[in-house]
Every structure is written in C-alpha cells, then in structure tokens.
Amino acid sequence: MSSEKTAPTLNRSLGFWSALSLVVGTVIGSGIFFKQSSVLDSAGSTTNALLAWLLGGVITLTAGLTIAEVGAQMPHTGGLYVYMEKIYGKIWGFLSGWMQVSIYGPAIIASIASYLGILLVGFFHLASWWQAPLAIGVIVLIGILNMFENRWGAAFQIVTTLGKLLPIAAIIIFGLFFGDQNAFGQSLKTVTQSTGSFGVAVLATLFAYDGWILVANLGGEIKEPQKVLPQAIILGISLVLIAYTLVTYGILHFIPAAKIHALGQQTTVYFAQAAFGTIGGRLLNIGVIVSMVGCLNGKIMTFPRIMYAMAERNQLPFSKQLRYINRQSHEPIVATIVILILASIMISFFNPDRLSDLCIFTVYCFYVATFVGVFLLRKRNRDRVRPFSTPGFPVTPIIAILGALFVIVSEIGSDLPGVLLSFVIVLVGIPIYYFKQHQDQAA
C-alpha cells in the first residue's frame, strides 16, 4: 500500500496560457502557409476560397464547443480515449486510443517532421539524404525536452506559438494595407484551371484546422480543468479561425488569383519575397520552421498521454513499463520514447503523409461518436450540474456532427481503399483488447 501511495503521478501544473498555446500551437503548423492554392483551385473563386476557410473554422468551432462540454465533465488524462470509454464502454475507448497511439499519432508526428526535414535541407543547402536524420533529430530533441517537467514543454510551446504568430501578422498587415487586388471579385475566368469542388475546399481547410482536441489529452495535468479546458479550446479555435481567414484575405488581396494558382505551394514564399525582398523568403521559412517545431512539440507532449492512460488501465502489451512516470519530472518517459520510435520508423521506411491521411477518416468517426455523446450524456446525467454547457444547444452539436459526417463521406468517396485499410488498422486492436482482458481475468 505504501508504494502505491508514493507512486509518482502526472503533475497538475499547466495553466490557461499553457493550454491555450497548446490549442493554437498544435493547429497552426504548415497548412495555412501551403494550402492557399489548393483551396482556391477547389473552390473555384476567391470569394468561395474565403468562405471555405471561414466555414471550416465555424465547423471546427462548433466541434470545440461540443467537446468542451464533454471534456469539462471528464477532466482526465487521455482526452478522446477517455470520452469514448465513459460514453460507450471500454472497448470503444480502447479502439479510439489504440488507433491514436499505434498509427495516427506517430504518423502525424512523422509527416510534420519529414516536411520539416525538407525545409531544413533547403534552408541550409544540404544534401537530400540529410532529410530523415534531421527529421528524427528534431523529434528526439523535442522528446528529450518533454521528458523534463511539463512546465518546460509548456513554456517552449508558448514561445513557439508566439514565434509562429509573427509571420502570420506580417502577412495579414502587409496584405491588408498594401494589396491592390479584389479579394472577393476573382472567379473561374481568372483561375484558369479549377479542380474539385467547394466541398473539397472545405475538407482541405478542416484538415488544416485539425489538432485542437489534443489539449484534452492533458486534462489530468491542467489546473482547474473544468474551467480552463473549455476556455482554452474555444478561445484557441476562435483565434485560429480569425488568423486563417485574415491570412487568406491578405494573400488574395495582394496576389492575383491566377498567380496563386500558378505558384501552388510557393504562394506564401512568393508573397514574402514580393513584400519584403529576397530576404523575406528566408525569414518566412524561419517562421514556418518555428511554426512546425511548435506543432511537433504539442503533439509529442500530448500523444504519449494517451498511451500512458491506456497503460494505467492495463490495456496495452507491456503496460507496466508504458505507465512508468519519472519521480523527478512526473513525465511518462517510456510512453514518450515508444511514440518517438514509432514515428522514427515511419520517417525512415514509410510515407507518413499517406499513413496520416488514412487515419483521418477513423479519427473523424470517433469525433462524430463523441459529438453524439453530448446528447447521450445530457440524457444520462439530466439531474447533474454541468461545469460547461455548449452554447446554442442542440444546433451547435448538430452542426459539428454534420461537419464530421461531411469529412467521413468525402473520404469514402475519394479513397475507399484507404478507408477500408483504416478499418483494418482499428480492427487489429480488438484481439489485443480481449487478450489483455483474458490476462487480467487469469491473474
């Protein structure tokens, strides 16, 4: 009994600003800088492109408002994994957690790190074979930082979040005050080639908005989580929505639509060079690098918490090791190392972008189930006082559900083989779940 009483636990030391920076930092990565052309091409006009970014943000905000009500009632480490378990039962919680720790989390870390490796190779004019070692080196360094007390990782997140806001502010200010294009008036006649549809454009922005829910994985480490978690999620998503819409308007106001179409992923680099000279491109690259490092830090800080939470319930192989908490730092060191190893393998041998795309479908299946869970919890706990209630209920969660269903249907229509593979990945977790159940019963 004494050893249980003295066993180290996660440190509840994160405040509002740390939580807010995690929401903003894990959402703003590279998407807003490199998705402008693809969203415009799919939307077919500058007006529709702006509407796509705005609608994607509104859908995401309704999702955040809905999850905030769930999270305030379950302020525990594990986030989505805990919500699914409490609402639908252990096996559904396990499957959502299994999907995140085995493929989704490591693949997202690997994809961002791989792209960061490409930027670093170009920035320092290195040989292409440096890409993977640099990517792995970055995540290892960030992982080491997150093996110290969580306040260090949180402080780094605040610094990088502030750093990534600088290029965003520069684009907004220069685009608004020095642009001379009509951001609302350019149509398909100007955009010489259009692919996809308005729905595809919204889908692209939803991927750029994804990541905000990861702060919920730290529910057990946030001070006053029933109050702080909803505030951080709602304000964080709102800030990102405003930033994304203004950045898009600034770019469309400064660069003709046809030019954006021709530039593709180089649109924002061209903007920086045209606005600030040749050094502007390199300064923007620094801003994007800082942005991606901060995004990686948020994900490396949060995903091991899911693995730790599952190991705490003895649901994973080697749970005893995976739930290890360092006595000095109060950090899940072994879980962090395992996530980094999986991500490093993906960087070295697989296409991480493809893997993360495959898992987006499954993540949104669990999203929609959690949104529906708000209605179930209200019915189940009708006599309890809620720490936070979703504004505009039931319209707000219905919009969130429809938005998630839109992603699911779009993925089925565009990549059925990938959707089927996603199901297979999740189904692999079922025998693992029942094997661990059998082990527990035998013990």
> At residue 387, does pLDDT exceed 50?
yes
| 7 or 23, which is more confident | 23
Q: pLDDT per residue over 230-284, tens digit each?
A: 888 899 999 999 999 999 998 888 888 888 888 776 777 788 778 888 787 788 7
Query: What angle in degrees, to the nearest 10, is found between the helix axes of 278-312 and 150-178?
Result: 140
Residue 82 Cα distances to 132, 145, 427, angstroms: 34, 26, 19
41-50, 334-343, 409-418: the lowest-pLDDT one: 409-418
Per-residue pLDDT, averaged over 389-400, amounts to 93
Q: Taking the CA atoms of 294, 299, 305 and 311 in sequence, report the sign of the dihedral they define.
A: negative
Res 192: pLDDT: 45
Asked if the model's pLDDT at residue 67 lies above 80, the reply is yes
Domain ranges of the chain: 11-442
Residue 191 has pLDDT above 60, yes or no: no
Please state which of the ranges 22-31, 104-113, 138-147, 176-185 shows the lowest mean pLDDT.
176-185
The beta strands (E) that lie in 331-417 are given as none
What single string gives the DSSP state of each residue in 1-13?
-HHHHH-------
Most confident of 48-52, 220-224, 275-279: 48-52
Instruction: Give the C-alpha separation, 208 to 210, whole Å.
Output: 6
Q: Which residues pair with 14 in a beta bridge?
A: 222
Question: What is the CATH architecture assignment of 11-442?
Answer: Up-down Bundle (1.20)
- Contacts by 355-358 with C-beta closer than 8 Å and gap 24+? 355/103, 355/107, 355/110, 355/111, 356/104, 356/107, 356/108, 356/110, 356/111, 357/415, 357/418, 358/103, 358/415, 358/418, 358/421, 358/422, 358/425
pLDDT of residue 74: 84
Give CA–CA dist 400/199, Å, rounded. 16
Residue for token pair 């509407």: 51
> N- to C-terminal Cα distance for the chain?
19
Q: How confident is the model at residue 11 (pLDDT cuts 50, 70, 90)?
A: low
| pLDDT level of residue 57 (50, 70, 90 thresholds) | very high
Which structure tokens are listed for 349?
């041998």
Mean pLDDT of the chain: 83
d(CA 305, CA 297): 13
127 three-class SS: coil
Q: What is the per-residue pLDDT for 2?
A: 42
**What letter would DSSP give residue 385?**
P
Count, residues in the chain = 443
pLDDT at residue 171 greater than cutoff 90: no
